[in-house]
């Protein structure tokens, strides 16, 4: 039987190369941070990249966990962040360890935002109303409706309202997590709260009929 081979340059191929390189002992792995970044930018810097991800793994995980408050999801997105960065290595324009760190964090943030979006969409799709004959508890149904209404807002407002009202973060903490300015966070919360109230009142009126 022939073994299955991934096409060079495919996502599967990149994943295999990344996982294999993480298991190989390489003298380059003892190099300084900036030198690893330089090697990563070379034609084939997978081994250097694996070590960079190892050094960043805890910070990426904590970043994802702060967004999602779910350890399993944070672990999955930590791995996905590294894979996505490797596939998109040509988009990295920096040359220092600090710039590489910021780049990884931006990728993790985008993945977390996409995850929150899909969660909200799934809640909206699966909770359009209580199942016939088996209505859920009122509080559970209400929570699903809140998430469904929230999912209709612009994504920046979704994130800030969710982190502020549901997860309990301060505006300053949200600014650090989401990498929005303090001014923008306050604006997203204020405008998002106003839009949420309008959408919620519309939903309540529909529920009466």
Residue 192, domain member (yes or no): yes
Residues 59, 144, single domain; the answer is no
- Identify the band that residue 190 occupies on the pLDDT scale cut at 50, 70 and 90: very high
Please tell me which residue, 123 or 17, carries the higher pLDDT value: 123
CATH of the domain at 51: 1.10.1740
Indicate the average pLDDT of the chain: 75
Is 106 in the same domain as 138?
Answer: no
Q: What is the pLDDT of residue 22?
A: 47
Q: In this structure, what token pair is assigned to residue 152?
A: 């209709």
Give the confidence band of 1 by pLDDT, cuts at 50, 70, 90.
very low
82: helix, strand or coil:
helix
Domain count for the chain: 2
Q: Are 46 and 18 in contact (CB under 8 A)?
A: yes
Range of the domain at 71: 8-117
Asked if 13 and 112 sit in the same domain, the reply is: yes
Task: Assign residue 173 the CATH number of its domain.
Answer: 1.10.10.10
Phi, psi of 59 (to 5 degrees): -70, -40
What is the number of alpha carbons within 13 Å of residue 12 lying toward its C-beta? 4
The pLDDT value recorded for residue 185 is 92
| CA pseudo-torsion sign 189, 190, 196, 199 | negative
pLDDT at position 26:
56
117, 146, 161: which is the final residue of a domain? 117
Q: Helices 97-126 and 71-87 meet at what angle, rounded to 10?
A: 120
The yes-or-no verdict on residue 14 having pLDDT over 50 is no
Task: Name the most confidently modeled range: 26-30, 55-59, 161-165, 204-208.
Answer: 55-59
Q: Given 68, 91, 117, which residue is the final one in a domain?
A: 117
Residues 71 and 145 in one domain: no
Same domain, 137 and 113: no
End-of-domain residue from the set 94, 117, 140: 117
In a domain, 3, yes or no: no
Q: Determine, yes or no, domain membership for 40.
A: yes
Contact criterion met (CB below 8 Å) for 123 and 72:
no
The Cβ of residue 124 has, within 10 Å, a number of other Cβ atoms equal to: 17
Q: What is the pLDDT of residues 34-75, one digit of tens each?
A: 888 888 887 667 788 888 888 889 989 988 887 777 889 999
Specify which of 96-105, 147-156, 185-194 reaches the highest per-range mean pLDDT. 185-194
């Amino acid at each position: 039987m022939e073994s299955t081979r991934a096409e060079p340059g495919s996502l599967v191929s990149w994943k295999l190369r990344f996982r294999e390189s993480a298991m190989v002992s390489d003298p380059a792995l003892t190099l300084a941070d900036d030198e690893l970044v330089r090697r990563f930018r070379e034609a084939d810097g997978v081994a250097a990249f694996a070590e960079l991800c190892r050094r960043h793994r805890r910070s990426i995980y904590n970043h994802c966990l702060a967004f999602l408050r779910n350890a399993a999801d944070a672990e999955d997105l930590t791995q996905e962040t590294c894979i996505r960065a490797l596939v998109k290595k040509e988009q990295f324009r920096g040359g220092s360890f600090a710039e590489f760190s910021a780049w990884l964090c931006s990728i993790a943030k985008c993945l977390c935002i996409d995850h929150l979006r899909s969660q909200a969409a799934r809640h909206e799709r699966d909770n359009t109303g209580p199942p016939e004959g088996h209505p859920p508890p009122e509080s559970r149904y209400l929570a699903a409706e809140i998430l469904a209404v929230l999912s209709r807002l612009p994504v920046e407002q979704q994130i800030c309202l969710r982190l502020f009202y549901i997860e309990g973060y301060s505006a300053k903490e949200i600014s650090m997590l989401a990498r929005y300015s303090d001014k923008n966070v306050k604006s997203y919360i204020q405008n998002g709260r106003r839009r949420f109230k309008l959408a919620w009142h519309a939903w309540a009126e529909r529920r009466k009929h």
